[in-house]
Each structure stands twice: as structure tokens, then as C-alpha cells.
Structure 1
Amino acid sequence: MKTASLSKKQDEKLKRPFILLAIMLAMFMNAIEGTIVSTAMPAIVSDLGGFSLYSWVFSGYLLMNAVTVLIYGKLSDILGRKPVLLFGIAIFLIGSFLCGFANSMTELIIYRFIQGFGAGAVAPVASTIIGDIYKNDERARVQGYLSSVWGISAVMGPALGGLLVENLTWKLVFWVNIPLGILSFIGIWFFLHENIEKKKRDIDYLGASLLTLSISTLMLVLVEGGNWSWASAPIISLALVALLAFILFILQEKRAAEPMMPFEIWQERSILIANLVSLTTGVMMIGLSSFLPTFVQGVMERSPTVAGFTLTAMSIGWPIASMVSGRLLMKIGFKSTSLLGGCSLIIGSLILVWMKPEAGPLLAAIGSFFVGVGMGLTSTSFIVVIQKTVSWERRGIATASNMFMRNLGNTVGAALLGGVMNTKLHSYISEHEPAGTEVTIDTANKLLNSEEREMLPDTVVKVLQEGLTLSLHTIYLIVLAFSIVSFILLTRLTKNK
């Protein structure tokens, strides 16, 4: 029995365009946060100091986002979408406001945790609301609009961040979201109406606590695994805590009246495959966004602007494919649309594998574009089919589970691919280090700065570039392997919905 629904009378009063606009503002606010902060970080570090804590400005936000996304998804099924989304937006805005007043890197990291705590509600609950207020034949088109928000933010974020830092202050990088969030809050408050059935709520607090402990320790292991030894006591201890908490979480979910994660939704083949492919494409996405600019700047010796252009190509391909997928889903079905996306992922990965240093950034951009098309076709198809497969009372957690798997893929990919690159580069440098020089992995940082690169001996530049080429080629082979795994999984879809 549904715990909440939109009555026919209320449905007639719904101002869907206004709700959609409010949701797109919330999604834009959430999406632009990553790209705009990345551009401002050099200025922030210069002002606040604490360079050793640099990565935690991003990791703290990522950790809280990943930890809370499933919890918010389930709470939206119990309490309704509106209160959960409004709570998330409010917490996000408080965190954004505080970030601008940070006087040290430690303070900034704490405030980023607050931001991430609120951000975890935005994407899954906003996407779930679309599933609630639009019919099956409309969802694909509208979900495409939401996906386009991410592409637009990826293009606008770096440019806007650079303008604010260069001409005004880095504080505005965080405060620029506040008016957007307020408008979104007002729109959802006034235009979204839900008929919540009055009954006693049995919220699985123990399950939520165990899930939080398990995911947060796992994410900490993956984020810090590259900085600490994988065999060190802290890493092993955290891994054991994550495993034990997850086992206890499973046991708790089996006995809970309203489990935080109803495992039976994973028994639906379309949801299982969609979530597994989201995990593999999450690894691919971080491999592209983290390491393609390094290749373009360090090996091809192009500027950061040109390197950014190669990633922008993915950001363009993604929303275009998301919008096209709406029509494809209606004409050829879910499975065929997803397989087209899987083919595009393989094509893009093959281009990156075949890419030579002398090929130029245009080829890198083409490969990036095809990967973006693949991401757009698959991600939109997944959200639509998941929301069609489950009932209202499980739509929130089902949508959140898919987004969580992509977040997990990003984090696993960052740890896995970063470790592969460092190992390969260190091995190559050790074997080919020019006599009389002290070349280390850290020396490779100088390849990314044209002035510092010119000060290096030609023999050192050659070794570093060859080592970096070999290392990144290995990473792209791994990305290709994940694209093939993704395609194989997609062929297991039996229903062409």
C-alpha cells in the first residue's frame, strides 16, 4: 500500500513547469559545485594555507554525499519527497554560506562536510520527484533535461570560477549558489504538493547508522589508500570496520520492518544490471576526467585551457545524448538504447587507447565526446527504467541506489587508477632515469607547467613524458576493459522496455 501519493485533484493543481524549473535550479546548484571549486582552489590555498589538506576539500564533500545519498532516498519514501529535499537544500545553503567565512583550511573542510551532508539529498530526491509527477512516456524527455544541467554546469563552472577569483574573491565561488538555492527552495515549497498518509513511521535508525559507518569507512579507505600504505594498520583496521558494519547492516535489514535498503529491489534484473553498469561507468568517468587533462598538458604540452576543452567535449556529448535518449527509448526501447550507449563507451575508450602523443588534443576531445554520449544514453535509460519498475514507496531508494553505485565507482576508480599510474610511472622512471639526475614521480608535476618544463633537461622531459604516456596508456586500457564489461552486462538485459 502506498504511504504517499499525489491525488488527482492535487495533480490538476500542480504547476509542473515551475516544479521542474525549481528542481533544475537545485540540480545546477549541486552540479556546479565541483567544477567551480576546482578552479578556485589555488587561490583558496594561497589565502588560507594548508596545502597538505588540499584533497580533503573534495574528499570531505564526496564522503558525506556518498554516505547520505541512500539514506535520503529511503527517507523520501517514508516522509515524502518535499520535506527531505527542502532539508537537503537548506543544509547545503548553510554549508555554502559558512564556506565563504572559513579562516583556515580545517574550517573550510568542516564546512564542506556540511555542504556534502545537504547535497546528498538533492540529486536522488530531485530525480525521484520527476518520476512522481511525470508519466512513463514523459520521464525520458524530462530526465534528459536534468542530465543536461550537469553538462551545462561542467562548461560554465570553470569559467565562472575563474572570473570570480580573478576579479572579485574566492568566497563568491560558494556564495553564488545561495540565490539559486533560495529560488529552488521557494519553488518547491509553493508548487510541490504531496498527500502524505498519516501513520506511525518505523524508521530504521540502526540500519541507517550501520550503513553510514560502513560506507564512510570504506570511502575513507579508498580516498586515503593512495596516501597511506595499503598494508598499514590504519587501512586494514578501517577495512575491517567497514566489512563488519556492512555484515551487521545486512543482518539488521533482514529483520527491520521498514529496511533502509530493501534488497529485493536488486532481484529485479533491470535494476541489478543498471546499478552494476553505473559502478563500471563511474570508474570510467573518473579515469577520463582525472587523467585525460594530465596527458594533454604533460605529454602533448598543451595549455590547461586546451586540456579543459577535451573534457568539455564529454560534457557536451552527455546532455545531447540524454535528450536524444528520450526519443530513442520510445522508438527502440530501453535495452537497445542502453546498448547504443555501451557501443559509444567502447568507441570512445578505443580512441583513447589508440591515441599517440603527436595525435593532438582534437582526437582526445573526440574520444571524450563518445564517452560522454555513452554516459548520457545509459544513465538516462537507467533512471527511467528504475522508476518505471518500482512502486512509489520504493522509487526514492531505488533511484538513490543507482546514484550511489556511480559515486562508489568514482571513488574506487580514483584509488585504483591513481595507484596504477603511480606504480607504472615509478617503475619506468627507475629503469630509465638519466645518469646524474634525481627524477621522481613528483618531478612529473613540472610537466604540467610550461615554464617549469622548459627548465628541465631534455633527457628528463623525454623520460617523464615516455613514462607518463606508458602509464596513461595502461589506464586507458583499464577504462576500455570496464567499457567492455559494461557492454556485456547490458546484453544481459532481457526486457526491451
Structure 2
Amino acid sequence: MSQPGERRTHRGLTVAGLVLAFAMAALEGTVVATAMPTVAHELKGLLSYAWVTNAYLLTSAVAVPIYGKLSDMYGRKPIFLFGVLLFLLGSAASGAAQSMTALIVFRALQGLGAGAMQPVALTIIGDIFDLEERSRMQGLFGSVWGIFGIVGPILGGIIVKYVSWRWVFFINIPFGLACAALVGVALHENIDKRRRRLDIAGAALLATGVTALLISTSHLGTAVTATSTLLALVLIGLFVWVELRAAEPVLPFDLFARPIMAHASLMGALLGGAMMGSLTFVPLFIQGVLRGSPTEAGGALTPMLVAWPIASAIGGRLIPKVGIRPLVRVGISLTAVGSLLLMFFGHRGIYAIYLATGFFGLGMGLGNTALVIAVQTSVEWAQRGIATASTMFFRTIGGLVAVGVMGGLLAASFAADPNIPPDAADLVLSREGMTHLSPELLARIGHILEEGVRRCFFVTGVLGALAFIAVLFFPDVSKKPATEPVTSAPPAH
């Protein structure tokens, strides 16, 4: 509760600052992808192309649970502002990068900042609004994510064509400063000042263990895969051992004894895998197999990107009326339908893919919003940060591991035919490149690519089906939060 003389949070300004953070994070996922062909050409780094994105995703993924725990220990505002600062430093340095290696390093720094922005922002919303208001706000933020995800490719194309690819990164700076100023001035917390023991060993083991796990799925060669897999198992085993003995574990295992947390984490990993698989391999299928243009490949994801914010906004308003569990079940079921459509009918043409991605968007918009509310409602303030972050962590890790496995299936399809030249597969992704291939080789590559992507769609379908089975056992959620928030701060001690 607020104490006499305590400054109160201005919720409107706080929300405005958090919206800016969400907009930057959403844009970064799509606007950079649009600029990457130009970046790779100018910096002469085509062979390092994928690592510009992977470095960002990797550091943001491993940082999410750590920031979530720190926000529970030291308050939301300082951790959020620290994340924004790192994100802006990474953005400025990325825009000024003079080599592909430097860009990869600076993107990793940017990812470290992004790892705090989205989960801590959602946690702040859980702190400063009651359940009914929180549902609408989570719907709003889901809509912001979807809308700016759609705007990203368009904005990226305009910036690259008329200004410079460097402004894809520099554009974050004014918005990031405005975000930090709004949250810094408007959000006030009453933080417990007692000394806390930071679980440095646990944080280090989690970060290195997850990094090794993701490298093991990156197809860098048999020796690298075997070594990183073994290292990941050892580090994650040590992490579990340390966490069971830590006074302030970075990822408290007792949290997952709660049925809601256990189910949400499992479904998050499965949905993350299905969603990232579709986002990654649907455009590849359209360009490489259906011979579509890059515009047509991006357009196949439009139904998802349009349906997601609409469903998120609707779901946020429905939660107080129908409850959390029905929306979780409906949302996950729709996502499963989308993944199964992709599995059974995705190879039959563009319209089946449109339908599948549309179901994905509807399902994720409804289900993801309700899942976040369910998780935040099931815990008290002192665990709300790590609870929110952990659901995002498992969704991101599930997506990255699934895409790595699917990429391995695709690579295995090409490796099975020694008559395919190493660089020939890349040529089918552009009309100009296809002119350098014989009709026979072009047909052979197209057939192999189709079979490989169909295997990826099969994995997506299995993940969606497993998520549907898991949601059948999703527990009921009380509409009364564990701690009704009055301000964004924990109770005074």
C-alpha cells in the first residue's frame, strides 16, 4: 500500500513509456530483417548473415529469466531502465558498425537490453492494474506487438531505400530516450531495502548452458554439435544442482510446482516451436518451392500478423467476462488447427498457407494474452517478475531449438544428394539465381527443398498437437489475483 508522502505512479504516462518499449522490440524483429541483404552486401559478410539475428535472439533469450528475477529483488523500474540503456547502446553501436563481426557483437549487446524490456514491461502492467484492467492492457500490448510487427518490413524498406540501413538502428534512440524518460518520471515503487544475495553462479550457468544448447542446434559441424550438446547437458545439470541449494535462486523450481506455471511453461515451449517454425519456413517454401517472390513470401505471414493483434485486443476484453481458462483452451486449439493445416495441406498451395497462418494468429492472440494473465494471477508480487519472464523464456527457447532441429532436417535432405553443388540451393531463392541452374538441377533442388520443408511442417504439426493435448489439462484460474496491486510496488516493510 502507499505510505503517507509517497509519490504515486502516473499510470497513463507509464503505459505510454511501456508501449514505446514494446514498439521498439517488435520493430527490431522485422525491420532489421528487411535491411539485412543490404547490410551483408555493404559490410561484405554474407557468410555471417544469420549470426546478426542469432546473436540478438540468443542474448535476449538467456537474459529474460535473469532480468525477471532481478526485477523481483530490486524492483521493476531500475531493471527496466537498465535494459533500455543497454538496448540503446547496442542500437547506436550497431548503426555505427564498420564490419560484420562488430555488428554481430553490438547486436548481442542490443539483445541483452531487449531481454529486460518486454518481460519487465508486462510485469509492470501486472503490478499497476487490477485483473479486469490488466486484461485490457495485456490485449493492448499484444495489439501493439502485432501492429508494429506488420509496420516493420514496410518501414525497413523505406529507410534502406531513401536514407541508410544504419538508421534501422539509429531510429531506436529518440524513442528509447522518450521511453526511459516517461517510465523514469511516472513509475514509482516502494522497494524493500534489505540486502539480497544475487545468485551469480546460477545466472552464469543458465546463460552458458542455454547458449551451448542453442549452438548444438546450429549445424556448425558434427564435432561442434557433439561438444556443445555434451557441454549443455553438463552445464544445465550443474545449474539444477546450484539452484536447489541457492538462497535466492535465479529460477526458483518451487515456482513450477504450481500447476499453472508448469502448464504455461510447457505450452509456451511447444507454441514457440510451432510459431517460429511457421515464421521461418513458410517464406522459404513459397520462394523456393512455389517460386514466389519475396513479397509473396512475406505476404503469406500477413494473415497471422493481422489476426494476432485483433484477437489479442478481443481476448483482453473477454477475460473478465468468460474467464481465463476458456480463452487459453480456445486460443491453443486454434493454434493447433493452424499447425495441423500447415502439416497436412501447406504443400498444396498458397491459400492453404494463408488459412493456416490466419489460425496461428487468432490462436496466439487469444491464448498468449490469457496465458500471461493466468501466470501473473497465480503468484504474488515477489515472484511475478520471474513468473512472467519464465513463460517468455520457455517460449523463446522452444522456438530457437525447434527451428534449429527443423533446419537440421532440411540440411539432411540436401546432404543426402551428393550431386547438389553446395551453393546451388541458395540460387533458387531468387529469380536471377535460377537462371544459372539447368532445368534438371532446378527441378531436383525444388523436389528436395519441398520434401525438406514438408518435414519441417510435420514437426510444426506435432508441436501444435502436443500443445492441444497439454491445454486439455490446463487448471482453472481464480479470477482473484494472489495479490491485488494498488501501486507498482511491493508492500512496505
Taking structure 1 as reference, are residues 96 and 194 closer, same or farther at Cα in structure 2, changes over 3 Å only? same
Amino acid of the residue matched to residue 15 of structure 1? H
CA distance in 2 between counterparts of 1:421 and 1:458 reads: 22
Aligned residue pairs, count: 478
Deviation at residue 246 of structure 1 after TM alignment: 2.0
Contact 1:150/1:315 (8 A) holds in 2 = no
Contact 1:63/1:220 (8 A) holds in 2 = no
Deviation at residue 253 of structure 1 after TM alignment: 1.8
CA distance in 1 between counterparts of 2:70 and 2:265 reads: 20
Tell me which residue corresponds to 1:256.
246
Tell me which residue corresponds to 2:258.
268
CA distance in 2 between counterparts of 1:253 and 1:300 reads: 49
Tell me which residue corresponds to 2:356.
367
Taking structure 1 as reference, are residues 344 and 10 closer, same or farther at Cα in structure 2, changes over 3 Å only? farther
Amino acid of the residue matched to residue 380 of structure 1? T
Tell me which residue corresponds to 2:221.
228
Amino acid of the residue matched to residue 104 of structure 2? I
Contact 2:48/2:100 (8 A) holds in 1 = yes
What percent of counterpart residues are identical? 38
Question: Within 5 A, what are the aligned runs for 1:384-399?
Answer: 384-399=373-388
What TM-score results when the alignment is normalised by the length of structure 2?
A: 0.92
Could you say what secondary structure the match of 1:257 adopts? coil
Deviation at residue 44 of structure 1 after TM alignment: 1.0
Contact 2:336/2:467 (8 A) holds in 1 = no
Selected match of 1:148 from 143, 155, 158: 143
CA distance in 2 between counterparts of 1:400 and 1:236 reads: 30
Matched, 1:418 2:404: no
Matched, 1:89 2:84: yes
Matched, 1:378 2:367: yes
Contact 2:7/2:188 (8 A) holds in 1 = no
Selected match of 1:56 from 48, 51, 54: 51
Selected match of 1:458 from 439, 462, 471: 439
CA distance in 1 between counterparts of 2:373 and 2:6 reads: 20
Contact 1:82/1:192 (8 A) holds in 2 = yes
> Would you tell me which structure has more helix in proportion to its own residues?
1
CA distance in 1 between counterparts of 2:342 and 2:369 reads: 24
Which consecutive residues of structure 2, in runs of 5 or more, have no partner in the other structure?
479-493
Deviation at residue 320 of structure 1 after TM alignment: 1.3
Could you say what secondary structure the match of 1:196 adopts? coil
Tell me which residue corresponds to 2:491.
none
Contact 2:346/2:352 (8 A) holds in 1 = no
Deviation at residue 356 of structure 1 after TM alignment: 6.1
Contact 2:209/2:233 (8 A) holds in 1 = yes
CA distance in 1 between counterparts of 2:252 and 2:347 reads: 49
Selected match of 1:306 from 281, 296, 311: 296
Deviation at residue 496 of structure 1 after TM alignment: 5.0
Could you say what secondary structure the match of 1:215 adopts? helix
Amino acid of the residue matched to residue 267 of structure 2? V
Could you say what secondary structure the match of 2:79 adopts? helix
CA distance in 1 between counterparts of 2:332 and 2:174 reads: 38
Amino acid of the residue matched to residue 30 of structure 1? A
Selected match of 1:355 from 325, 345, 353: 345
Taking structure 1 as reference, are residues 253 and 365 closer, same or farther at Cα in structure 2, changes over 3 Å only? same
Tell me which residue corresponds to 2:278.
288
Deviation at residue 23 of structure 1 after TM alignment: 0.3
CA distance in 2 between counterparts of 1:129 and 1:344 reads: 29
Selected match of 1:339 from 325, 329, 337: 329
Deviations 1:166-188 (A, max 9, x none): 11111101001111101100000
Contact 1:275/1:401 (8 A) holds in 2 = yes
Contact 1:426/1:440 (8 A) holds in 2 = no
Amino acid of the residue matched to residue 459 of structure 2? I
User: Following TM superposition, where does structure 1 have runs of at least 4 consecutive aligned residues deviating by more than 6 angstroms?
Assistant: 8-12
Deviations 1:128-158 (A, max 9, x none): 0000001012212111111112211221111
* Cα root mean square deviation, aligned: 1.9
Question: Within 5 A, what are the aligned runs for 1:242-253?
Answer: 242-253=232-243
CA distance in 2 between counterparts of 1:298 and 1:245 reads: 39
CA distance in 2 between counterparts of 1:37 and 1:350 reads: 30
Taking structure 1 as reference, are residues 10 and 405 closer, same or farther at Cα in structure 2, changes over 3 Å only? farther
Contact 1:137/1:330 (8 A) holds in 2 = yes
Matched, 1:446 2:436: no
Deviation at residue 448 of structure 1 after TM alignment: 1.6
Amino acid of the residue matched to residue 228 of structure 1? G
Tell me which residue corresponds to 2:230.
240
CA distance in 2 between counterparts of 1:9 and 1:378 reads: 40
Question: Within 5 A, what are the aligned runs for 1:427-446?
Answer: 427=416, 429=417, 438-440=419-421, 442-446=423-427
What TM-score results when the alignment is normalised by the length of structure 1?
A: 0.92
Selected match of 2:67 from 61, 68, 72: 72
Which consecutive residues of structure 1, in runs of 5 or more, have no partner in the other structure?
1-5, 431-437
Deviations 1:54-79 (A, max 9, x none): 22111111121112111100000000
CA distance in 2 between counterparts of 1:295 and 1:34 reads: 21
Deviations 1:85-144 (A, max 9, x none): 000001110111111111111111111111111111111100100000010122121111
